[in-house]
Amino acid sequence: MDEIEGKIPEEAPECNQEVEDKKITEILAGDKKQEHREPDDKRLVALSQKGDKAAFEGLVRMYSKYVYTNAFFMLRDAHEAEDVSQEVFVKVYLSIKNFRGLSSFKTWLRKLTINTCIDKLRIKSKTADKKVSLEAFEENYDIVFTDLNHNTERNFIARETIKEVLGVIVNLEESYRIPLILRDFQDYSYREIAILIKKPIGTVKTNIHRARKIIKDKLKYEKEKKI
């Protein structure tokens, strides 16, 4: 496993410093493994294109959580995220022979996931927009951190703040959430977002700016509440 669970035990963090340090070492080791991921997935893609099922299963194990996470943030529904993950991998399985590798496999998979999610959102746009409470979000989902620095105290604060940020994002209105995720998490350009969600580029920019402001204000409010 190249990921370490980010859930923090209830006890004070300094009591578990040794465990924490071990975790960080493993996280860093995980990051190094991730650096070697690209050649690995190229080999697996090449083998999958020749019909090697075990190689394709390797790709599934490598990227299933990545696809699931992207789908979850787009759709904020665990079951739909699961359905989309399965659909995406079936599409990939059926068409991998036609993948020419002009972009990386991860990029291809990510864009395919986003396109599938956008299609789903278009279908369910008439249904009620559900909200996920921050508590439920933290209780029901294990958040795995793959990028943290050495300082344990800072790590703890960062993890808590990231959880808060994710909680706010998950609860944003769709018109704010989707452009923000596409821009900040998926690195889409404003132009690409405008085409995908069929909105003018100016609206996209405004909504992203407003979404960031909402997150900033909520974090500020939470900070003041704690003090």
* Rounded least distance, CB 86 to another protein, Å: 5
Q: How far is CA 196 from CA 2, 27, 139, 193, 207, in A?
A: 33, 35, 32, 5, 15
Instruction: Calculate the CA 136 to chain-centre distance.
Output: 18
CA torsion, ordered 31, 12, 8, 158, to nearest 10 deg: -60
Among 8, 192, 201, 210, binds another protein (CB under 8 A): 192
How many residues bind to another protein according to rule CB under 8 A?
A: 61
Helix, coil or strand: residue 164:
helix
CA atoms within 13 A on the CB side of 6: 19
Binding mask 77-116 for another protein (x = CB under 8 A): -x--xx--xxx-xxx-xxx--xxx-xx----x--xx--x-
Among 140, 150, 154, 173, binds another protein (CB under 8 A): 140
What is the helix (H) or strand (E) element at residue 5, kind and residue range? Answer: strand 4-5
* Rounded least distance, CB 128 to another protein, Å: 22
SS3 per residue for 33-81? HHHCHHHHHHHHHHHHHCCCHHHHHHHHHHHHHHHHHHHHHHHCCHHHH
Among 104, 106, 141, 156, binds another protein (CB under 8 A): 141
Binding mask 142-161 for another protein (x = CB under 8 A): xxxxxxx---------x--x
Q: Is 64 in the site for another protein (CB under 8 A)?
A: yes
Q: Is 133 in the site for another protein (CB under 8 A)?
A: no
CB 24 within 8 Å of CB 150: yes
Q: Which residues lie near another protein (CB under 8 A)?
A: 3, 5-6, 53, 56-57, 60-61, 64-66, 68-69, 72-73, 78, 81-82, 85-87, 89-91, 93-95, 98-100, 102-103, 108, 111-112, 115, 119, 140-148, 158, 161-162, 165-166, 169, 184-185, 189, 191-192, 212, 215-216, 219
